[in-house]
Amino acid sequence: MADLKIRLSVQINSFKYPDGTQALSDIEVNISHGEFIGILGSNGSGKTTLLKIMDGLMKDFEGSAYLDGADIKKLSPKEIYSKAGLVFQNPDDQLFAPTVFEDVAFGPINMGFREDEVITRINNALKDVDMQEYAKKSIHNLSFGQKKRVCIAGLLAMGHEILLLDEPTAGLDPMGEYKMMNLLTGLNKDKGVTIVMATHSVDLVPLFLDRLYILSKGCIVRSGIPEEVFTAPDDMANVRLRLPQIAELIYKLRHEDNMPFEKIPLTIGEARREILKTLRS
């Protein structure tokens, strides 16, 4: 469960890329210890840019960013990576070693763990993402989804307290998507890892995330628990997103067919209860 200690606090008045693109403005994001947070936004809304700023990779923004109260602009990469790690959106930007095993080994070796500890960490991390059979395989020959899972294993092996994940489920098959979200939920709930993930998977969000921020054209336009953030279909369309499909169906039944639903459920489970209640009344 989240407690009140703020781990990450970011205020960005403005961030422009060198070519003049205004990527972020009016951003205020506070992440407490133990939260599982989503940054939800359409393509080009600024999700990756925001995660990179949180990981200290880009410091020339107008505003401030703090990690456990320390100014990220002044922290060294090592000080940041001892607590927080970012998994890139594109696995090819992250993976570089010849084999799966060597890639996952890189982090824990650099963190100075003993050899037997490194091996245990690699094996556990590969098992967590279901890639233990691929340890000796060449990175080049992995599928996209497999590469993505190896990237996550690389971070898990380091044991960060804060994980920043850029579209961790993009490119995974439906089962892989659920397995990944369940793995992340386990890390969050059982091991207390604070997680911030960028995504545009609206159907997954209400099942797993505590709280989210909606990013549109570089600005935070809404934030809160999923029930507060998912509003009417038109509002979602304005930020180039949609409601979860089940919510869209119930919304239409209520507003176009006058079915007396009291609330708009966001998940299949909630929808099932709401439908049974409405049919029985």
Ligand X SMILES: Nc1ncnc2c1ncn2[C@@H]1O[C@H](COP(=O)(O)OP(=O)(O)OP(=O)(O)O)[C@@H](O)[C@H]1O
Residues that bind ligand X (CB under 6 A): 17, 19, 21, 23, 41, 43-49, 89, 200
The Cα–Cα gap between 28 and 70 comes to 17
We find the least distance from the C-beta atom of residue 48 to ligand X, in angstroms, to be: 3
Nearer to ligand X, 89 or 194 (CB): 89
Q: Is the CB of residue 206 less than 8 Å from the CB of residue 165?
A: no
Q: Which is nearer to ligand X, 32 or 169 (by Cβ)? A: 169
Residue 67 to residue 79: CA distance in whole angstroms: 10
- What, of Mg ion, ligand X, none, does residue 7 touch, CB below 5 to 8 Å by kind? none
Q: Does 199 bind Mg ion (CB under 5 A)?
A: no
Name the binder of 182 from ligand X, Mg ion, none, CB < 5-8 A by kind. Answer: none
What residues from 74 to 93 belong to the interface with Mg ion (CB under 5 A)? 89
Which CA distances in Å does 139 have to 98, 124, 129, 143? Answer: 6, 19, 15, 9
- Which neighbouring-strand residues pair with 97? none
> Which position's Cβ is nearest Mg ion?
48
Whether the CB-CB separation of 232 and 251 falls below 8 Å is answered with yes
Pick from Mg ion, ligand X, none: which does 44 bind, CB < 5 to 8 A by kind? Answer: ligand X
Does position 48 bind Mg ion by CB under 5 A? yes
Smallest gap from Cβ 116 to ligand X, in A, equals: 39
Residue 167 or 274 with smaller CB distance to Mg ion? 167
Nearer Cβ to ligand X (93/117): 93
**Residue 80, token pair as written in the block:** 């940041």
CB–CB of 198/51 below 8 Å?
A: yes
Which of Mg ion, ligand X, none does 85 bind, CB closer than 5 to 8 A by kind?
none
Closer residue to ligand X (CB): 17 or 96: 17
User: Alpha-carbon distance 130 to 92, whole Å?
Assistant: 19
Helix/strand/coil for 204: coil
Q: Which of residues 98-117 bind Mg ion (CB under 5 A)?
A: none
* Smallest separation, CB 273 to ligand X (Å): 33
Q: What's CA 24's distance to the chain center, in Å?
A: 18
Q: Residues touching Mg ion: how many (CB under 5 A)?
A: 3
Residue 32 vs 45, nearer CB to ligand X:
45
**Core vs surface per residue 139-150: b (16+ CB within 10 A) or e:** beebeebbbbbb
Query: Residue 10, Cβ neighbours under 10 Å: how many?
Result: 20
